[in-house]
Amino acid sequence: MAFQSTMSRLAAVAFVLLSLGFLVQASPIAAPAPGSEVATIEERTYKNCYGDSCYGGLDIVSILLQLQAAIEIKLGLLDGCLSGGDYAAIILDIEGLLYAAIGAIQGIKLGLLGLLTGKLLVIAKIWFAICISIATHCGKWTGHVEFDVFIGLIARIDIALKLCLYAIINLGGLFGGLLGICIGL
């Protein structure tokens, strides 16, 4: 009976929010101080690096643009192996680039404001350009003698692409569903 009027409901919600705010302010856990120094190369963790490509400390769009450029170079080398060459090493390099980008993407802390900046469609466009480029270049191998071995290696790239997409979709934590909807467009 106490919460029948709109004003009493509003006051109860305001009281709960105020109480939660006081609890957060009284928390004994200190907030981390922002670092003012740039990490040197020796201090970096190398989980986001593969070869000469490092993806640490960047936003998602620049990570994907770097990944796209690096993969395009590797796909050009893969086309050169159509007449003969070591295509397995190139495919494993592409897989390594994807896993390095996955580590960098998972390291990004993105809140609701980061999701609402309008970059979602740019991210989706770059992601699909990467996928279409890989599929187009791999389609050139149809009918070659070692096609079965090639497909086995491409399955590894497929898994890495799916894990990268999963990392992109889960960027926003609870708000990852919003990004999942935009990528699904």
Model confidence at 132, pLDDT cuts 50, 70, 90, reads very high
Do residues 106 and 176 lie in contact, with contact meaning Cβ atoms separated by under 8 Å? no
Domain boundaries, the chain: 48-184
How far apart CA 112 and CA 105 sit, in angstroms, is: 16
Mean pLDDT of 56-67: 76
**Whether residue 49 has pLDDT greater than 60:** no
Do residues 116 and 172 lie in contact, with contact meaning Cβ atoms separated by under 8 Å? no
* Residue-wise pLDDT tens digits, 63-81: 889 999 999 999 999 888 8
Model confidence at 107, pLDDT cuts 50, 70, 90, reads confident
What are 152's two structure tokens?
């086995």
3-class DSSP state for residue 109?
A: coil
Do residues 166 and 173 lie in contact, with contact meaning Cβ atoms separated by under 8 Å? no
Query: Given this model, what pLDDT does residue 45 score?
Result: 46
Give Cβ neighbours of residue 130 (< 8 Å, ≥ 6 apart): 64, 67, 68, 71, 161
**Whether residue 184 has pLDDT greater than 80:** no
Query: Given this model, what pLDDT does residue 104 score?
Result: 83
Mean pLDDT of 92-116: 77
Q: Which comes out higher in pLDDT, residue 6 or 54?
A: 6
3-class DSSP state for residue 129?
A: helix
Query: Cα dist. 93→15, 48, 153, 157 in Å?
Result: 57, 14, 11, 10
Residue reference for tokens 């190139």 = 90
3-class DSSP state for residue 148?
A: helix
**Whether residue 122 has pLDDT greater than 70:** yes
